Amino acid sequence: MRTLELAGIQVPVIGQGTWRMGERPSERRREVAALQQGIELGLRLIDTAEMYGEGGAEVVVGQAIGGRREQVFLVSKVYPHNASRQGMAAACERSLQRLQTERIDLYLLHWRGQYPLAESVEAFERLREQGKIGRWGVSNCDLDDLLELHEPSCAANQVLYNPEARGIEFDLLPWQQRQGMPLMAYCPLGQAGRLLRQPSLGQIAERHAATAAQVVLAWLLRQPGVIAIPKAVEPAHLRLNAAAAALQLTTEDLAQIDAAFAAPTRRSPLAMI
Ligand SMILES: NC(=O)c1ccc[n+]([C@@H]2O[C@H](COP(=O)([O-])OP(=O)(O)OC[C@H]3O[C@@H](n4cnc5c(N)ncnc54)[C@H](OP(=O)(O)O)[C@@H]3O)[C@@H](O)[C@H]2O)c1
């Protein structure tokens, strides 16, 4: 699996999302098995959040990484309403308990909320000094937020990015690339909705004996500094996602995608889910 550097650490360009995991006890075994299969396939970056299943997803992740913690680059997120000096320390402690680990490798502010960014940064730095987190970053921040943050220690920004949501290509992505700050693309498959049924993606997939989802992942990874974190529980999906890192799109493929999903020509508000 191809890797890129995130604040001094090599991480795989394709990871595993966990939204919607940990919501139904009857699904627990499948979800744990899926994450473990993903790790074996090289999808060693796992993205979770205290919000997902109100802690349930972190519990699933904790179970999946038991005995293999050191193979995994673990990302979790703090709710904005917990991103204060005291609140973040307590929230992080709860996440560590659920994840059954002593360290979160990358801890993100899920989105901007009521606390000043400077206060959240102070709380992140304290957790870093204590060794409870390796690095910190943000999510759902646009370029103005990052300029206001003005923090070289911000290790990543996680935003909505797929062919239907290309706004970040205008200013945010180029800026992050210049800063060497990886961009984590969430909902990379558009949650497997109408995006994957778009005819051009199907035609490109056929030319490569691939699937539309693989084409979308290869398209996201065509550029430096991008990590995609598809969520998959289906074993076949995990295998396809891992293999997508090796798929090379041609100039013709890229032009066809541009014709179907226009690249941005001006600044637009950050898309979010
Ligand atoms: N920071 C934020 O605010 C934020 C917001 C949203 C999401 N996220 C993160 O980003 C992750 C990914 O986003 P997401 O889960 O919303 O959506 P997504 O990854 O775009 O789509 C997930 C859906 O795609 C299906 N799928 C996976 N691989 C596939 C393949 N190769 N072919 C066909 N279908 C496939 C999955 O099915 P199966 O599960 O059945 O395999 C699931 O239904 C989340 O899980 C979460 O970790 C972050």
What is the predicted pLDDT for the residue at 209? Answer: 98
Q: How far apart are the first and last CA of the chain?
A: 28
**Superfamily the domain 3-260 falls into:** NADP-dependent oxidoreductase domain (3.20.20.100)
Percent pLDDT > 90 in the chain is 99
Dihedral, 153, 77, 96, 7 alpha carbons, nearest 10? -30
What is the predicted pLDDT for the residue at 171? Answer: 97
**Res. 24 pLDDT band, cuts 50 70 90:** very high
Residue with tokens 């996440």: 95
Protein residue with its CA nearest to atom 31 in ligand 1: 237
**Is 52 annotated as catalytic?**
yes
What is the predicted pLDDT for the residue at 86? Answer: 95
Say how many Å lie between the CA of residue 19 and the centre of ligand 1: 7
What is the predicted pLDDT for the residue at 8? Answer: 93
Among 47, 194, 237, residue to substitute to test ligand 1 (most atoms within 8 Å of Cβ): 237
**Res. 217 pLDDT band, cuts 50 70 90:** very high
Say how many Å lie between the CA of residue 3 and the centre of ligand 1: 20
pLDDT tens digit string along 124-182?
Answer: 999 999 999 999 999 999 999 999 999 999 999 999 999 999 999 999 999 999 999 99
The upper half-sphere exposure of residue 160, i.e. CA atoms within 13 Å in the direction of its Cβ, equals: 12
If you average pLDDT over every residue of the chain, what do you get?
97
**Two tokens at 119?**
């206060």
Residue spans of the domains in the chain: they are 3-260
pLDDT tens digit string along 236-270?
Answer: 999 999 999 999 999 999 999 999 999 999 999 99
Residue with tokens 């973040």: 88
Say how many Å lie between the CA of residue 2 and the centre of ligand 1: 20
The binding-site residues of ligand 1, defined as CB within 6 angstroms of any ligand atom, are: 17-19, 47, 110, 139-140, 158, 186-192, 196, 211, 213, 229-234, 237, 240-241, 273
pLDDT tens digit string along 39-98?
Answer: 999 999 999 999 999 999 999 999 999 999 999 999 999 999 999 999 999 999 999 999
Q: What is the mean pLDDT of residues 203-229?
A: 98
User: Which one of the listed residues 52, 107, 161, 186 is annotated catalytic?
Assistant: 52
What is the predicted pLDDT for the residue at 115? Answer: 97
Say how many Å lie between the CA of residue 161 and the centre of ligand 1: 12
What atom of ligand 1 comes closest to residue 19's alpha carbon?
A: 45
Total-model pTM? 0.98
Q: Which H or E run contains 56?
A: helix 56-65
